[in-house]
Structure 1
Amino acid sequence: MANKTFLITGGAGFIGSAVVRELIQNSTHQVVNVDKLTYAGNLESLASVKTSERYTFAQADICDVQAMQQLFEQHQPDVVMHLAAESHVDRSIDGPAEFIQTNVVGTAVLLEAARNYWKKLQEQNAAKAEEFRFHHISTDEVYGDLEGTDDLFTEETSYAPSSPYSASKASSDHLVRAWQRTYGLPTLVTNCSNNYGPYHFPEKLIPLMILNALAGKSLPVYGDGQQIRDWLYVEDHARALIKVATEGQVGETYNIGGHNEKANLTVVETLCDLLQELVPQETSYRELITFVTDRPGHDVRYAIDASKIERELGWVPEETFESGLRKTVEWYLTNENWWKRVQDGSYQGERLGVNA
């Protein structure tokens, strides 16, 4: 494919930064990273690509109408990959308003900026307008949970979100599809399973367990730990997203999963065993596991049927859960400076003096 300009929202976040790194390191495309730099945005995750001539960073809020319009006019993107979102379920339970603002209002603002830009393209550069794509990245949590042990989420599964977070993401999905249906905006939607891997913010399950274990702290597991998730290595996800953005069919939805269903307790126990192998200690890390009161509305099981993206676009994950988890643990063991700067808040100093 000819060189394109990708405008990526939330590119300093966990998944977004993986997409940016993948594009800069393994393609010749231009990348414009648009990120507000909330607590979860970390420019240090992009240290390996920030000096590339093909990389541009703009600190901006997707809810800012004028800023979004200016970014489209300035950078003339061929592809928008919309990853900017509040994404932590516990935080959404404690404070849902911020999730509605960013995930719903922000998506609407971005859609309108994209639509106005695309309309001008149709008048001024029909070929560029024909190739323009708006790719919205969502989550499997919009589907609610699965009752049976063999059921899988498909692209046709009805929405039944359980938390303020998943409800806000479901709302944004509906907006994207409405803009495609009503205005003809060339959109794509992907819904992914739980991601894990390097540069994951320490509030999330896997990095939290790794770092707590290394510090000798308790490993809190919700309820009985039998909630099942499908785990997807973040670099596999990044490759899938780029394939959808560049090869996917307009108006279609693609579910992206890792084919790795694991109970939360199993994940934590596996982490403990890996740490015992890599950083041995006298007492088992498993002894740090504690069970805590379950979160409100906690979904029991997620599992994705990713056969459509495999069949139509030829994508399959390269990592197994075992290989991906080992890579993840080894990364945290060798990148102590990154996560310690997140823990003490010093990483936030990166945003000082940053501008478009």
Structure 2
Amino acid sequence: MPIPSDIDRRTLLGGVVAVTAATTISASSDAQSATLSLKGKSILITGSSSGFGYDGALHYARAGAKVIASMRNLPRAEADTLKAAAAKEKLDISIIEIDVTSDEQVTKGVAEAERLAGGALDVLINNAGVGYAGPIELQDMEATKLIFDTNVYGPHRMARAVLPAMRKAKRGLIFNISSQLGRVIVPSAGHYSPTKFALEAMSEAMAYELVPHNIEVCVIQPGGYPTKVWVNRNVLAKELKGRITEDQAAAYPALVSRMGLEDGSGRSADPMDVPRAIGEIIAMPAGTRPLRKAVHPGPKPQEAINKVSAETQVAMLGNTPFGPWIKAVHD
């Protein structure tokens, strides 16, 4: 099928602009929960047991959204805590079970989320993720398969599950939570950067391909935050450390000695930065949302790479049949 040469993102998505243009976006992050309006939005979040997912579920619901918060291994204490918080504030939060590494749970969970939403979801937030530590050579196949299954295949499963209804509705927004390390690389983080680089590429390809369907994709690139991700990372890193050989450990003594001991201490940035940024982007008029958003009060080294990447994409493909899609995403 030939690619139409007259695709314009703002024209394609213009029908939604009038509906969302009046949405209030606070100039102050501290006051955003009181001024942001996400009324009428249905939002499905993965990895809602802690961190950005847990905080986000409450934040979006306080702004009026219908939130479907998913997590794995139900029942669990975190689900009870979130349920109690929602009940106390009379927030519209439903909790469902989704392990993003399970085809069956993704299919069943998304179907339930769409039932609760009364149709196609407005927003999917792919937040679930895991991390490891240690040199790449020491990442055995057990660790490698788990991190790719969670950080790459998980968001892919979720997108494939929500997109049929979104395409039929001709609207939708998918957030993929990447990282600064999805653009820059720090040694001894295992396959964390490789998975986030893959997620970045997959997200950008989807953003182009979904332009004709009025569906947007946004990559969130957080810096380091003091969330439970460090606790979970250490558990996995210690398990991996227990499986490596003496010869492997001797090859990287300094790096192996740190595996399972990095607790994220010294990081004081407010994890609410990420839900606030996502809330602001949801509230933006369709067709004006960014492909990528770096989030952190400190340095954002990935922004320079984001800029060069966008310029390169437009220069390479802007005058090809794909040009309208590329320009629609990067304009």
Find out whether 1:30 has 2:66 as its counterpart: yes
* Structure-2 separation of matches of 1:13 and 1:46: 9
The question of whether the paired residues in 1 share the 8 Å contact of 2:179 and 2:196 is answered with yes
What's 2:320 paired with?
A: none
Once residues 100 and 144 of structure 1 are traced to their aligned partners in structure 2, the CA distance between those partners, rounded to angstroms, is: 18
Question: Which residue of 2 is the match for residue 66 of structure 1?
Answer: 107
- C-alpha deviation, 1:256, in angstroms: 0.6
- Listed as ranges, the matches of 1:159-174 within 5 Å are 163-174=190-201
Offset, 1:255: 0.5
**Equivalent residues in 2 for 1:173-212 (5 A)?**
173-184=200-211, 185-196=215-226, 202-203=231-232
Name the CA shift for 1:230/1:3 in 2 (closer, same or farther; >3 Å). same
**What is the correspondence of 1:301-316 to structure 2 with a 5 Å cutoff?**
303=301
Match of 2:275 among 238, 249, 266: 238
Q: State the TM-score, normalizing by the size of structure 2.
A: 0.57
Counterpart Cα distance in 2 of 1:27 and 1:187? 21
CA distance in 2, matches of 1:253, 1:116: 24
Query: Identity of paired residues, percent?
Result: 15
Greater relative contact order structure (CA < 8 Å, 6+ sep): 2
3-state SS of 2:193 partner:
helix
CA RMSD of superposed structures (Å): 3.9
Q: Please give the alpha-carbon distance, in whole angstroms, between the structure 2 residues aligned to 1:48 and 1:201.
A: 25
Q: Which residue of 1 aligns with 2:79?
A: 43
**Residue pair 1:14, 1:200 contacting (<8 A) in 2 also:** yes
What does 1:291-310 align with in structure 2 at a 5 Å threshold? 303=301
Q: State the match for 1:252 in structure 2.
A: 291
**Is 1:144 aligned with 2:144?**
no
Match among 173, 176, 179 for residue 133 of structure 1: 173
What amino acid is the match of 1:252?
L
The one-character-per-residue Cα deviations of 1:16-53 (angstroms, maximum 9, x if unpaired) are 101112223x3221110011249999325525524245
Q: How far apart are 1:203 and its partner, in Å?
A: 5.0
Are 2:157 and 1:119 aligned? no
Distance in structure 2 (CA, Å) of the matches to 1:38 and 1:89: 27
Q: After the TM superposition, which parts of structure 1 deviate over 6 Å for at least 4 consecutive aligned residues?
A: 38-41, 227-230
Aligned mates of 1:142, 1:39 — CA distance in 2: 32
Shifted more, 90-99 versus 171-180: the winner is: 90-99
Letter in 2 for 1:254: K
What residue is the counterpart of 2:43 in the other structure?
A: 6
Contact 2:222/2:296 (<8 A) preserved: yes
**1:345 counterpart residue number:** none
- Which secondary structure does the structure 1 equivalent of 2:58 belong to? helix
Native 8 Å contact 1:134 1:187 kept in 2: yes
- For each residue in 1:58-112, what CA deviation from the matched residue of structure 2 results, as whole angstroms up to 9, or x when unmatched? 1122342522541353123211111011234469946121111121111111111
Structure with greater strand percent: 1
Q: Match of 1:85, as an amino acid?
A: G
How far has the Cα of 1:254 moved from its partner?
Answer: 0.8
Aligned residues of 1:193 and 1:231 also touching (Cα < 8 A): no
Deviations 1:220-273 (A, max 9, x none): 9949x9x999763112222122212322834521101122x7xxxxxxxxxxxx
Distance 1:180-1:102 versus aligned 2 partners, 3 A rule: same
Report the CA distance shift for 1:180/1:200 in structure 2 as closer, same or farther (over 3 A): closer
- TM-superposed CA distance for 1:145, in Å, is 3.8
Partner of 2:126: 82
Return closer, same or farther for 1:41/1:179 CA change in 2, 3 Å cut-off. farther
Q: Which runs of 5+ in 1 are unaligned?
A: 123-128, 147-159, 206-219, 262-301, 309-356
Measured in 2, the distance between the counterparts of 1:29 and 1:101 equals 29
1:19 to 56, 63, 69: 56
**How many residues are treated as equivalent by the alignment?**
227
Contact 1:193 1:303 in 2 (8 A): no
The answer for the alignment partner of 2:153 in structure 1 is 105
Q: TM-score, normalised by structure 1?
A: 0.54
Note if contact 1:257-1:305 (Cα within 8 Å) is conserved in structure 2. no
